[in-house]
């Protein structure tokens, strides 16, 4: 019985890992990292017009269509949130923002680019 449960858990873990290595999942992870960087800059008090210059080029491996528009919307979204005073609050805000954009991507809210 224990062996059957162990095999089932290993199978489920391998399926989870293989789905996370898809080009779309890798793009979502990268998009989450961009969201994290945007919110780090926002929480540091960097002006909105200066943040966009940090994200002028995107790697060809990023398979999301209209990434420039998405990141522009992401920056606008970050500036709807206030700058937190405490470090713990800033870290929490960064984490929530990163997760929000990663989850939106994983829920297929963005179209894949076809090369």
Task: Look at residue 3 and tell me if it is in a domain.
Answer: no
Task: Look at residue 101 and tell me if it is in a domain.
Answer: yes
Confidence of residue 75 (pLDDT cuts 50, 70, 90): very high
Task: Look at residue 15 and tell me if it is in a domain.
Answer: no
Task: State percent of the chain over pLDDT 70.
Answer: 75
Q: Residue 54 has what pLDDT?
A: 77
Task: Look at residue 93 and tell me if it is in a domain.
Answer: yes
Task: Look at residue 50 and tell me if it is in a domain.
Answer: yes
Domain that holds residue 97: 22-106
CA distance 65 to 9: 35
Quick: pLDDT tens for 89-105.
999 999 999 999 999 99
Mean pLDDT of 24-47: 92
20-24, 43-47, 52-56, 66-70: segment of lowest average pLDDT: 20-24
Domain total of the chain = 1
């Amino acid at each position: 019985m224990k062996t059957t449960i162990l095999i089932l858990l290993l199978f489920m873990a391998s399926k989870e890992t293989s789905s996370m290595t898809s080009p779309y999942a890798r793009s979502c992870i990268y998009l989450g990292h961009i969201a994290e960087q945007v919110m780090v800059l926002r929480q540091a008090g960097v002006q909105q017009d200066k943040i966009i210059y940090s994200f002028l080029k995107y790697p060809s491996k990023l398979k999301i269509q209209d990434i420039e528009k998405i990141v522009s919307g992401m920056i606008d979204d970050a500036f709807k949130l206030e700058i937190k005073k405490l470090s713990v609050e800033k870290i929490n805000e960064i984490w929530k923002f990163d997760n929000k954009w990663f989850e939106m991507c994983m829920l297929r809210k963005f179209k894949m680019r076809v090369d």
